[in-house]
Amino acid sequence: MQALLSVVPGGPETLELKTLPDPTPGKGELLVGIRAAGVNFPDTLIIKDLYQIKPPRPFSPGGEIAGEVLAIGEGVTGFTIGDCVLALTVYGGFATHVTLPAAAAVKFPETMPFEDAACFVFTYGTSYHALKDRAALQSGETLLVLGAAGGVGSAAVELGKAMGARVIAAVSSEDKAAFCRSLGADETIIYANEMDKSAQKAFSSEIKALAGPSGVNVVYDAVGGDYAEPALRSMGWAGRYLVVGFPAGIPRIPLNLPLLKSCQIVGVFWGASVLRDPKGHAENVKDLFRLYAEARIKPKISARFPLNRAPEALAHLSSRSAFGKIVVIMPDQSEHD
């Protein structure tokens, strides 16, 4: 097998492509031949030892994969050789093979291409958990999405529309705004790349103008930093502010704002929720497959990289210039019929 390995803490340039023996599934495990791997923000953190989980080195980043079952370990039922499965692996996905617990593997519809399957659960799972479970988003409410052109952000735009919300997409460029309009966003805002006090005030005023007198009901914040406070100031009474990620830094929030608006600041730790509530996660995945079959959601893949160029994929994601999803395609990848 081939694997892109993190041998020392650092950026994408520290990763090394190696040839290793093919793994063998243990008891309760599957051996999966990976066909495609999604690229996500935690992949950029785990190689720098900045993620919550710090695997022993050498390890391969890549927490989201799709492929075919090649071998089945002792005690595993419900799978056969050749089954198409997707899985969240936390790490190990930037490789041609991986062993994983059978309980972590999910069969996906035959009509779904491998690259769609590899870019499906992390972004849509995060955003659906956020909007459905944490915010209880209702049809007719106004949803503001920060970082709306990114992986989880674009998923939030699609899901917000599928759930009947009016969606305002906030992004950093006109190209990204056009992309969000193609996803169905009702309104778009282009915010400044540097958010000083004047820019914060202008950003908040623009949100309020688009949201109307009732304000924003739900904020989906996948950006953080100095963008958080102006978004919070735009919220309506009893709104829900979803804390999803901090690529712009961890914000400092004046706590008088949630008091005055009687709004909630709600954490979204999807990975932990999957472990704590597997039944709820399974129900959400079932809903997402249904929405995919109805053509109401579909991963928007803007870039594809072969395994030997996966460091470029991580650098591209880190630059915050990517639209939608990025996928790594394994050697000899072919169409999934």
136-186 pLDDT per residue, tens: 999 999 999 999 999 999 999 999 999 999 999 999 999 999 999 999 999
Clarify whether residues 150 and 248 are in a common domain.
yes
Q: Which domain holds residue 321?
A: 2-120+300-329
Q: Of the given ranges (241-245, 282-286, 332-336), which has the lowest mean pLDDT?
A: 332-336
Residue 336 has pLDDT above 60, yes or no: no
Q: Are residues 11 and 67 in the same domain?
A: yes
Query: Does the residue 176 lie in any domain?
Result: yes
pLDDT category of residue 77 using cuts at 50, 70 and 90: very high
| Distance, CA of 157 to CA of 78 (rounded, Å) | 35
Q: So what's the pLDDT on residue 334?
A: 44
Q: What is the pLDDT of residue 162?
A: 97
Give per-residue burial for 310-325: e unless 16+ CB within 10 Å, then b.
Answer: bbbbbebbbebebbbb
- Apex CA 121: angle with CA 274 and CA 155, to 5°? 115
Contacts of 77 (CB under 8 A, 6+ apart): none
In-domain check, residue 40 = yes
- Structure confidence by residue, pLDDT tens digits, 101-145: 999 999 998 889 999 999 999 999 999 999 999 999 999 999 999
Name the band, by pLDDT with cuts 50, 70 and 90, for residue 271.
confident
Closest CA to 67 of 41, 105, 102: 105
Average pLDDT for the chain? 95
Percent of the chain exceeding pLDDT 90 equals 92
Total domains present in the chain:
2
Quick check: 335 pLDDT over 60? no
Beta strands in the chain (DSSP E): 2-6, 15-19, 29-39, 64-72, 84-88, 97-101, 105-107, 142-146, 166-171, 187-190, 216-221, 235-243, 264-267, 301-306, 325-329
Residue ending a domain, choose from 250, 271, 292: 271
pLDDT at residue 111 in the model: 86
- Reduced to 3 states, what is the DSSP secondary structure of residue 161? helix
**The pLDDT of residue 110:** 81
Q: In this predicted structure, what is the pLDDT of residue 43?
A: 96
Clarify whether residues 216 and 199 are in a common domain: yes
> How much of the chain, in percent, has pLDDT values that exceed 70?
99
Q: pTM, whole model, 2 decimals?
A: 0.90
| Residue pair 115/36 in contact by the 8 Å Cβ criterion | yes
Same domain for 131 and 231, yes or no, is yes
CATH of the domain at 135: 3.40.50.720
- What's the whole-number mean pLDDT along residues 283-312? 96
